[in-house]
A and B are shown apart, each in its own frame.
Chain A
Amino acid sequence: MEKELEVIFRVLVKVRSTVFSLREVSTNPVYARRLVSILEKYGLAEVYRSSRYYSIVLTEKGVEALECAKRFAEIVCGKKLEYRKTSFKEREVSLEKLPEYLADNPWLKVLAERGKT
């Protein structure tokens, strides 16, 4: 387990984004796939495969671990390692409440009518 933790830490310090390709993990594709499978095993990343390439997307847990790894690097080196947050806002969509800009949405009245019928 310690070995795997070490591998995960190394990958997280290396990647510069919450979505990345295999090449960013390692130039050796076989080795990169092995490292990514460890991330998957711990629920840190989801892997989407197409015929040409792999896209690796960090899960919420993965992003949290990434923040920790970057923070660790900052403490040790005194330099902040920036990473690019990508577009996967999907993870921020709330299932509980509508966002503020939709709270007074006139289309909610449609639902009110449906509820009465």
Chain B
Amino acid sequence: MEAVAERIKLNLVLLTVEELKALGFSELIPEALRQKRVFKKPSPPICVRVKRIDYLLPPTLTVILGEYGELLDFTPTPIEAPYSLTDKSLVEYLLFDLPEVLENERSPVLVRDLSERFSTHVYEGVEYCLNILARVSKVYNVSTIVCDKTLELPNKTASLTIIVGKINGKTVAQIAETNEIFYL
């Protein structure tokens, strides 16, 4: 319990009021709100470049939908959430372990096939993880990327969406928000 408490104290900017309540640390809420008020984003922002289309992703949450395989070459190489993590272990990793990693060294983050990682409450799990990743982006000022073949649009949290699909038999990547199209 003490170990958990220590990690939570280090993580107060990232955790929401509801999460602190759920964890049984309601007494830390005033301190958490104070820290959030004075919080300043670390600088510089750590962006990631999708090499295949030479597209720079901002330090926000980006979702890449469809056959994303061709776009997986990033600079710098992001930290990837281990593929073995599913359900509870994935949520815990994103909320507790990932911030610890980023505290030591800020880096872009990649999560693949998010919707396949949940065996129950899939929709809620996906939306919750997207929300956590959006907060991670904001707190650590880094790009976070979710690649998923089956995730459906629209989702409520992603800042930028890249859709990989086919037009006239040719594979293209389209930036949904700007309608830019890149032939792959």
Kindly identify, within residues 7 to 36 of chain B, every residue whose CB is under 8 Å from any CB belonging to chain A: 13-14, 16-19, 22-25, 33, 36
A78 proximal to B (CB < 8 A): no
User: Which residues from chain A contact B19 at a C-beta distance below 8 Å?
Assistant: 98, 108, 111
Whole-angstrom CA separation of A46 from B58 in the bound complex: 10
User: Which residues from chain A contact B135 at a C-beta distance below 8 Å?
Assistant: 93, 95
Whole-angstrom CA separation of A112 from B17 in the bound complex: 13
| Segment of B78-86, B87-95, B100-108, B166-174 engaged in the interface with chain A | B87-95
Closest to B47 in A: A48
Output the least CB separation between A87 and chain B (Å): 4
Q: Check B56 against A102 for contact (C-beta < 8 Å).
A: no
User: Which residues from chain B contact A87 at a C-beta distance below 8 Å?
Assistant: 159-161, 176-178
Chain A interface extent, by class: 35 or more
User: Which residues from chain B contact A41 at a C-beta distance below 8 Å?
Assistant: none
Closest to B18 in A: A98
Interface on B for A, CB 8 Å cutoff?
1, 4, 13-14, 16-19, 22-25, 33, 36, 39, 45, 47, 49, 54-56, 58-61, 88, 91-92, 95-96, 120-121, 124-125, 127-128, 131, 134-135, 137-139, 156-161, 176-178
27 pairs of residues in contact across A and B, judged by CB atoms under 8 Å:
A46-B45, A48-B56, A48-B58, A49-B56, A50-B54, A55-B56, A55-B58, A88-B60, A89-B60, A89-B134, A89-B158, A90-B59, A90-B60, A90-B137, A90-B159, A93-B134, A95-B13, A96-B36, A97-B16, A98-B16, A98-B17, A98-B19, A106-B120, A106-B124, A111-B95, A115-B1, A116-B1
List 5 other contacts, CB 8 Å, given A87-B178, A96-B36: A48-B45, A48-B56, A101-B156, A112-B24, A114-B92
